[in-house]
Structure 1
Amino acid sequence: MTEPQQLHTVRVGEPYLPGFTGWRDKTAQIRLTPHGCEILIAYTRPTPVEVAQFHEGRCKFGWADLWSAAMLAFKIGGLEWMDASFHPMHQDPADRGLPRAEDQDQRTTLEALAALTAPGSKDDYAVLGATDSPIRGGGDHLLVRIFFIDAADGAVAAIRLVSWPPNFVGQVRATIERMLSSPFDPAAEEDALNRHMAVCTPLETYQRADIRCIGGAPA
């Protein structure tokens, strides 16, 4: 059995995936593993205003369990509503699942993230919900690292850290555990996603989500 892959260690200004040039404008991806959660947002040449919105805007999340697939809808500040599909079977076996609260160390995570940000820039990461809802001793919160990527060259324009509250994490965990305990049907997954996206925009996915949250608190 292989060890789960660590989440990316990358600095602002560096490529998220060196050599990869397949980023598409205004798209998002999500990665959920035993090491935590990463959300990737790609914009072509994000403007200073867009970067500021990414740093400072309120984060809204909605998780929709489509049974054969799942969808995360989200909005950060004044940036567009976006969504990203998810199924754990698209990841390596060792990377399927979510961390437990006792496996996460908030202080270490924050210090590591701060070390990756551009020197002298206090706005390269932000935290919502971490102070009054710590992971250790505060329930099953999940730290979420969000990368704002320039689709033109793959460089990381900004990094942000937020948290999902226990009730939101519980719903996400229940979806993943059910998927992992059931046979994977790629055709059913594709059908579920096609049916959903035919009638729902990212905003409508958020509005119809099984559960929602804002930054580190329930919506």
Structure 2
Amino acid sequence: MQEFQVGRPFPLPRVEEEGAVFSVEPYTMMLIYRYQRPTEEEIAEFTNGKVELAVADMRGVLLFLSKIGSLNWADAAYSTHLTDRKKVLPDLEEGQGYSLDAFLVDCVDNTLAAHRLIRMNTRFSRELRGMLEDEEKRPFDPQAFERQVADIFRAYRPKDLAKFARLTMRG
């Protein structure tokens, strides 16, 4: 079992580039922000700031977009086809939603700088699940996916991608 403790080494593989990663895990969803030496202000914004989430489907690529507090929009491409095991998200009753474990990692030394749990509302959770299930049914070519992601990230900044979102949530 992995232990996530602020101030300790982040237990997932080290990535030296700044950016964001979104993943669906067996019991949660994860959003990882990687910053080089996050400042105290960035840590405070990440920990306490209002959250905006958005999901866009552009050129067959799901883009998970997020803005926390005054931090810039972050983008993370995601495909169900690139996971090593199938994830089954549970059905939800009205008033329930999925959880998103959000981590801010110092990518210089791979230290966990902040962690927070974001609760998705019922509507966002259900629609996100539907988008993931639809994406899983599409034919998939990993090389084409990588090319599309590179083209999208070259052409658009994260805040511009948010304008294409099919699904949004503010909280």
TM-score, structure 2 normalization: 0.88
Match runs of 1:33-72 below 5 Å: 33-66=25-58, 68-72=60-64
Runs (5+) with no aligned partner, structure 1: 1-5, 102-135
Match runs of 1:11-50 below 5 Å: 11-17=5-11, 20-25=13-18, 27-50=19-42
Q: Is the 8 A contact 2:101 2:115 kept in 1?
A: yes
What percent identity do the matched residue pairs reach?
Answer: 26
Q: Is the 8 A contact 1:64 1:211 kept in 2?
A: yes
What is the alpha-carbon distance in structure 2 between the residues aligned to residue 29 and residue 99 of structure 1? 22
Aligned residue for 1:49, secondary structure, equals helix
What is the alpha-carbon distance in structure 1 between the residues aligned to residue 74 and residue 143 of structure 2? 24
Aligned length: 171
| Amino acid in structure 2 at the alignment position of 1:165 | N
Which residue in the other structure is 2:99 paired with?
143
Which residue in the other structure is 2:89 paired with?
98
Relative to structure 1, the CA distance from residue 183 to residue 41 in structure 2 (aligned partners, 3 Å threshold; closer, same or farther) is same
Relative to structure 1, the CA distance from residue 138 to residue 149 in structure 2 (aligned partners, 3 Å threshold; closer, same or farther) is same
Which residue in the other structure is 2:81 paired with?
89
Q: Is the 8 A contact 2:22 2:29 kept in 1?
A: yes
* Higher-strand-fraction structure: 2
Which residue in the other structure is 2:162 paired with?
206
Q: Is the 8 A contact 2:98 2:119 kept in 1?
A: yes
Q: Does residue 184 in structure 1 map to residue 140 in structure 2? A: yes
TM-score, structure 1 normalization: 0.70
